[in-house]
């Protein structure tokens, strides 16, 4: 058990490559990976347009974070693969993590929107069992909610990490 566990927060928009990166980070670090979309899809399927989706998403986020922070309290490194679209949410999580005596590392997957659109279209045509089906219209609907991390957030660009 480590004296100061690390919590890796993965920040990026839909289709940025967060879960792929999370799996590689899991292999490299041995941290426990918590990908809330995988949990949610097992419960409701891969259609995020269903009635009450937002409520299900909020509940899974709460549950997955509860599990993550129980592990952190035991000194176990954790990867939280959620996206963390809002700057305020990223700051809140960082304060909570540091308040627990753990280290927070924010990885930002800076993926061009053109690449995101291509990936999401390809993935949504035949979604794997752990991915949501996202239409171009739904992607456009979500885009205004995305807040790119600013330099003062102390993030690490995921593509620069080996």
pLDDT at 26: 96
Residue 123 domain flag: yes
Q: Is residue 1 part of a domain?
A: no
Domain span at residue 87? 6-160
* CA 64 to chain CA centroid, nearest Å: 11
Q: Classify residue 49: in a domain, yes or no.
A: yes
**Backbone φ, ψ for residue 52 (5° rounding):** 70, 15
Give the number of domains in the chain: 1
Within-domain flag for 17: yes
What integer pLDDT is reported at residue 160 of this predicted model?
A: 58
Q: Report the chain (162 residues): mean pLDDT per 10 consecutive residues.
A: 87 95 96 96 92 95 97 97 97 97 97 95 87 94 96 88 51
Of 148, 153, 154, 159, the residue nearest 12 (C-alpha): 148
SS3 of residue 86 by DSSP: coil
For helices 36-44 and 53-73, the axis angle rounded to 10 degrees is: 140
Name every residue whose Cβ is closer than 8 Å to that of residue 1 and which is 6 or more positions away in sequence: 74, 75, 76
CATH number for 101: 3.40.50.300
| Residue 81 structure tokens | 């693969």
**pTM assigned to the model:** 0.93
Predicted local confidence at residue 85, as pLDDT:
97
SS3 88: helix
């Amino acid at each position: 058990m480590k004296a100061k566990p690390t919590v890796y927060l993965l920040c990026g928009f839909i289709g940025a490559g967060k879960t792929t990166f999370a799996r590689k980070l899991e292999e490299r670090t041995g941290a426990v990976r918590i990908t809330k979309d995988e949990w949610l899809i097992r419960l409701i399927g891969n259609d995020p347009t269903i009635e009450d989706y937002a409520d299900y998403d909020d509940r899974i986020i709460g549950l997955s974070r509860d599990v993550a922070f129980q592990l952190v309290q035991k000194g176990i490194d954790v990867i939280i693969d959620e996206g963390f679209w809002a700057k305020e949410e990223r700051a809140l999580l960082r304060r909570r993590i540091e308040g627990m005596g753990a280290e927070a590392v924010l990885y930002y997957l800076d993926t061009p929107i053109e690449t995101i659109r291509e990936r999401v279209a390809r993935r949504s045509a035949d979604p794997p069992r752990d991915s949501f089906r996202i239409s171009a219209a739904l992607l456009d609907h979500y885009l205004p909610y995305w807040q790119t991390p600013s330099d003062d957030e102390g993030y690490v660009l995921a593509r620069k990490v080996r």
